[in-house]
């Protein structure tokens, strides 16, 4: 697949087929992630892989609570923005999109404390998101799909403790990986014209 085709085809998947994934493919997409640019050249990244349903259920109890308590009725029979439509669709799936896929990848990076006093203080955070995008693109290239859950509030510390991650490391996202269900609902996306986003010389 041409690179631009991979970029255009990549999308978040929240419903997966009941089909196993060769672990060599998981290693392949993580290897692609590791090749992302790194702010300190040390690549202080680790990856926790959750395979069994028991492991995933143990880790993502908070996501289950969020999904179970989401009030879909607030969004029914109303005129919604594209963002609201996506939110209403995605929130009830925050648990199943992790538990019902073959693998969950949890990237971990070393950082003592989140500090956004200056843009440069975000270098470790910026680097790990380059890793995550590489993983998404590499997965798309081999026919896999990815879900993405960013831990909410205290969820980060809850999952970090359950997975035995030591202090001084951060879990930016939980990535479900599997073969996407081709029948999953595809919601309309905001597609701005590139000319509207470019500013020559100044804003």
Residue 160: its pLDDT value, please?
97
pLDDT at 40 over 90: no
121 pLDDT exceeds 90? no
Residue 112 pLDDT more than 80? no
Percentage of the chain exceeding pLDDT 70 = 100
Tell me which of 100 and 1 has the higher pLDDT.
Answer: 100
**What number does CATH give the domain 3-196?**
3.40.109.10
Percentage of the chain with pLDDT > 90? 83
Split at pLDDT 50, 70, 90, the class of 45 is very high
CA separation, residue 131 to residues 29, 30, 96, 104 (Å): 10, 8, 24, 15
Instruction: Output the pTM of the full model.
Output: 0.94
Residue 180 Cα distances to 14, 33, 140, 185, 187, angstroms: 8, 20, 10, 11, 15
Q: What is the pLDDT of residue 41?
A: 82
Contact (CB, 8 A) for 102 and 16: yes
The pLDDT score that the predictor gives to residue 18 is 96
If pLDDT is split at 50, 70 and 90, which confidence band does 119 have? confident
Sequence-distant (≥ 6) Cβ neighbours of residue 88 within 8 angstroms: 72, 75, 80
């Amino acid at each position: 697949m041409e690179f631009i085709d991979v970029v255009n085809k990549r999308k978040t998947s929240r419903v997966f087929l009941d089909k196993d994934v060769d672990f060599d493919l998981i290693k392949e997409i993580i290897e692609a992630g590791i090749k992302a640019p790194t702010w300190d050249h040390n690549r202080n990244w680790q990856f926790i892989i959750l395979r069994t349903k028991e492991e995933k259920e143990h880790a993502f109890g908070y996501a289950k609570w969020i999904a179970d308590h989401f009030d879909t009725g607030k969004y029914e029979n109303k005129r919604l923005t594209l963002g609201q439509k996506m939110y209403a669709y995605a929130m009830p799936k925050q648990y199943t999109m992790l538990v019902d896929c073959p693998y969950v990848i949890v990237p971990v990076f070393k950082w003592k404390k989140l500090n956004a006093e200056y843009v440069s203080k975000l270098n470790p955070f910026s680097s790990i998101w380059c890793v995550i995008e590489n993983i998404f693109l590499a997965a798309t290239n081999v026919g896999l799909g990815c879900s993405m859950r960013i831990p909410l509030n205290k969820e980060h510390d809850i999952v970090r403790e359950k997975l035995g991650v030591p202090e001084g490391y951060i879990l930016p996202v939980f990535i479900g990986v599997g073969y996407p269900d081709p029948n999953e609902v595809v919601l309309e996306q905001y597609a701005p014209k590139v000319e509207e986003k470019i500013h020559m010389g100044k804003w």
